Amino acid sequence: MTLTDDSLTTEGLAPSGTGSVLLVACGALAREILDLKAANNWSHLDLQCLPAILHNTPQDILPAVEAAIARHRPAYETIFLVYADCGTGGLLQVACERLGVQMIQGPHCYSFLEGTAAFAARDEMTAFYLTDFLVRQFDAFVWRPLGLDRYPQLRDTYFGNYEKLVYQAQTDDPALTARARDCADRLGLAFERRLTGYGDLATALSNLR
């Protein structure tokens, strides 16, 4: 499956069945995981993505994850969950412990993509974060779901307490940087770009055998 700018979900990325480890991952991380697999020749890792749009309804993440694990467990001895807590209030971690599945650590992908320790040390309370995926999908995941395309006056309601937009860049792409800067302008926020690369995601995947 080719990921394009208007791809809203990546649940079509079904596991090939050739690897020994299955990654059950958020669709927002599909491109990054595939890039890491290709760059490191991690042929032992298979990928099953759940729809990225689940983040707009975090209460639906846990049942979707549990269903995916149950569906694929007969074919894989090792399953690794490429989600952080992601607004589930610790329920994903509890489910992983119950199901015998490991998961990536951190409160959300912004944390582990920057490096959880480095992210926590910043203690940024007035920053709004975008990743490569969210820059590409800004209208579909932020602008339209929040109703800003129809009610621009809601900007102050949602973002009045934010001071800056931080673009956590996984790739050094001038076109994406320009789009991220435009997102900041549309939200009336200062702009900061950090080239984070893949952070703790790369480390976590490299440890899977």
Looking at the fold, whether 142 and 178 belong to one and the same domain comes out as yes
Beta bridge partners of 184: none
pLDDT at 2: 32
In 109-209, the DSSP E strands lie at: 127-131, 164-169, 190-195
Residues 27 and 83 in one domain: yes
Predicted local confidence at residue 3, as pLDDT = 37
pLDDT score at 9: 39
Q: What's the confidence (pLDDT) of residue 141? A: 96
Inside any domain, residue 15? no
The parent domain of residue 135 ranges over 115-195
**Whose CA is closest to 80, among 89, 69, 94?**
69
What is the count of structural domains for the chain? Answer: 2
Q: What angle do CA 173, 39, 202 make, to 5 degrees?
A: 80
Which CATH number covers residue 90? Answer: 3.40.50
pLDDT of the chain, 209 residues: tens digit per residue: 333 333 333 444 556 567 799 999 999 999 999 999 999 999 999 999 999 999 899 999 999 999 999 999 999 989 999 999 999 999 999 999 999 999 999 999 999 999 999 999 998 999 999 999 999 999 999 999 999 999 999 999 999 999 999 999 999 999 999 999 999 999 999 999 999 999 999 999 999 98
pLDDT at 16: 56
- Residues contacting residue 35 through CB under 8 Å, at least 6 positions apart: 198
